[in-house]
Amino acid sequence: MGEYKPGESNENGNTRNYEESDVRALARILTGLRSDSTTHSVTYDTLYHNTGSAIAFLTGELKAGQNFPFYDSQSGTLNLGSMESSIGGSNGLTDNTIDYIFSKREREIALFLADRIYRFYIHDFPTRSEIDAIADVIIGQDFDLFLVVKTFLASDRMYAETAMNTIRYKNPLELTIGTIKRIHLPTESTIDPNIYDASLLRRLNWTPYNPGSVFGRDGFDDNKKWLPTSTINAWMSASNYFTYNRSTGSIDVPAILGSYRKELTNEIIAVFSHSGNTYS
């Protein structure tokens, strides 16, 4: 849900979506969940579950129509012992915790997701009204993000001035996969084996499944952060890495592209040339 709603901050005197006390309370709620050190599979052991009562977690009222047997509406606190019981066929503790968080912070979560979606597809500085409109869709689709993104991509927003004419920098994942598809057409058999090197993304400061913080990668917050000098240099090196032939020290264009060629006009064919570290 983010620390604040989009556009809000401590400097502006806004209220946070959660406090440090909420982080500690959530840790107490989720006691009993254990991870296997080898397989990393998660299981629940009721013997280790914290069964304390009158635990405060997230301020505010529940969403209209929500009622949980583990929640005391008078004191606004939780009975952790009852949270492990299944409600309506749920998985007990984990499902109940998620449902409770959504019942208290549905709008905040929707705004957080809407902000990320808008920044990723349109531009870095959406207005609050733009974000609110997407948040309404997210809530209306009951947080089914496939339907949300499908609706978003088919909307007029994708053809707005800011969407069509704003500079967007590809993130490392897009750069890497896009280059592989572009340079190494038409079949997988023409792909240089160097591409399978797992360090390619890490060269561009993108480690899969490791976003760097609970708030994600900086590129999703501010697209321009993907373009520091270090990233430009890394991408130039990665481009060389894609096309460099270790045995001859040069690019073997036919081997890379096979029979693929790009006609720029009826008479002109795209030709690749190489001199030192310069590509044309």
Residue 260 has pLDDT above 50, yes or no: no
Q: What is the mean pLDDT of residues 87-111?
A: 94
Q: What is the per-residue pLDDT across 184-231, written as a single tens digit (0 to 9) for each?
A: 555 555 555 555 666 777 767 777 777 776 666 665 556 666 666 776
For the chain, domain boundaries: 20-163, 172-279
Q: At what angle do helices 93-121 and 145-153 cross, to 10 degrees?
A: 20
Residue 217 confidence (pLDDT):
64
Residue 269 has pLDDT above 50, yes or no: no
Q: How many CA atoms lie less than 13 Å away from 270 in the CB half-sphere?
A: 12
**CA distance to 43, 167, 179, 245, 273, per residue, from 253 (Å):** 52, 30, 14, 10, 9
Q: What is the per-residue pLDDT across 231-245, written as a single tens digit (0 to 9) for each?
A: 677 767 666 665 555
Using alpha carbons, select from 90, 155, 87 the residue that is nearest to residue 118. 155
